Structure 1
């Protein structure tokens, strides 16, 4: 502990936070691949708007094609794989450069930042914006992930801000 100064602690904390998010991504990917049917059912209900409060003014937005449900779900899975992979590579790059110069450590943040931005796209844009605002997901009593997605964004966004700051020396 005598060798651990605040600058080292900041670097290690950035690596640790990226490892946490990478671990979360791995669990999400595992769930999507091992329990495809449950997660597909969720996506299908949101897209078809069959469990939302019926608002005839927005029913035209429903997507009822199972083929499109699968394609959209695979798009989500693919983006989850991409953000998780970027975060894993970013974690590795940060760890590799933990004792390097300021510039080298800061440059090692590239994959972490890309991964975090893609994760925000999935949980904020796909779920909160499109799911809630377009498909009225928040009115479903059963198939509503608005709060779950918000909690993820509430963690990822501050980590993104913290990672991008160049405070370590």
Structure 2
């Protein structure tokens, strides 16, 4: 450990964080693929707004075809963020001893993955799910705390990743 510089440790921690997000995505994609129906039902309740006492019911989407399409869109975005993070982690690991510029350029897939994940868990779930579909009003079908915990990790991790403190 005495031969490991702070800069090397920072680079390794960035690689580890990107791979952690990639593993998170892998588990989410696996769950969606192997337990499609449970997650589909969850999303269906959010889109139907059937467990909210909202005066905004005109916003609900009651079409099962649209539920499937929205779910497939979310699963596609989750696959994209997972793939980008795993590729980004690989690119960072491959460039762990490269120049500062090369290491920084190797971050692009990881940054893309983090941005897509933030789009899914912040914009799609928290903004659209909560503000449009009143998801927070449901006691049973509310993904706010789950999505918030992911965003609470992703945003500071993204800031740490893009900082040029790894020279």
Q: Same fold by TM (over 0.5)? A: yes
> Aligned partners of 1:168, 1:126: CA distance in 2, in Å?
32
Match of 1:110 among 97, 108, 111: 108
Number of paired residues?
167
> Aligned partners of 2:104, 2:45: CA distance in 1, in Å?
43
Equivalent residue, structure 1, for 2:17: 17
> Aligned partners of 1:53, 1:77: CA distance in 2, in Å?
28
Equivalent residue, structure 2, for 1:87: 85
> Aligned partners of 1:141, 1:168: CA distance in 2, in Å?
44
TM-score by length of 1: 0.98
* Pairs within 5 Å for 1:29-48: 29-48=29-48
TM-score by length of 2: 0.99
Unmatched 5+ residue regions in structure 1?
none
Equivalent residue, structure 1, for 2:130: 132
Shift of 1:108: 0.1
Q: What SS is found at the alignment partner of 1:2?
A: coil
Q: What SS is found at the alignment partner of 1:147?
A: helix
Shift of 1:59: 1.1
> Aligned partners of 2:77, 2:131: CA distance in 1, in Å?
20
Deviations 1:130-155 (A, max 9, x none): 00000000000100011110110000
> Aligned partners of 1:81, 1:53: CA distance in 2, in Å?
34
> Aligned partners of 2:30, 2:122: CA distance in 1, in Å?
21
